[in-house]
């Protein structure tokens, strides 16, 4: 066998490294009260590093670029309320642990601030 073929076979047997969760992943809401309300329009989740979900909107990031120590810019393709649209927000974790989203795809304000929700596991 050729060396390149042997190397390819060996690499195919090595498991891929597990990607660690990003600091911005998880459940977020405008207030702790909204964290407890599963039907709140003020809740969001970020899963898998590139999927963002709100009450009636979902987005997928095609590009995520570091912008500072705990900041990222994203190019989002979104769907919500029968519409498809794009957004380019900046997401950052503030010193107090809040998630700050500038130019986000939902909400009336140009800046939304979220607290992290501690969601218990179902038994």
> How far are the Cα atoms of 7, 90, 113, 114 from residue 96, in angstroms, in the given order?
48, 17, 11, 11
Q: What's the whole-number average pLDDT of the chain?
A: 84
| pLDDT of 59 | 97
* Statement: residue 17 has pLDDT above 70: no
Higher pLDDT, 7 or 116: 116
Q: How many C-beta atoms surround the C-beta of residue 67 within 10 A?
A: 13
Q: What is the mean pLDDT of residues 46-74?
A: 95
pTM (two decimals): 0.76
């Amino acid at each position: 066998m050729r060396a390149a073929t042997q190397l390819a076979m060996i690499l195919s047997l090595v498991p891929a490294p597990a990607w660690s969760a990003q600091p911005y992943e998880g459940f977020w809401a405008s207030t702790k009260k909204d964290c407890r309300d599963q039907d709140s329009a003020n809740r969001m989740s970020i899963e898998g590093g590139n999927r963002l979900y709100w009450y009636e909107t979902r987005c997928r990031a095609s590009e995520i670029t570091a912008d500072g120590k705990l900041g990222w810019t994203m190019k989002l393709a979104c769907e919500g309320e029968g519409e498809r649209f794009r957004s380019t927000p900046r997401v950052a974790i503030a010193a107090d642990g809040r998630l700050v989203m500038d130019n986000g795809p939902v909400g009336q304000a140009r800046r939304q601030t979220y607290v992290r929700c501690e969601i218990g596991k179902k038994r």
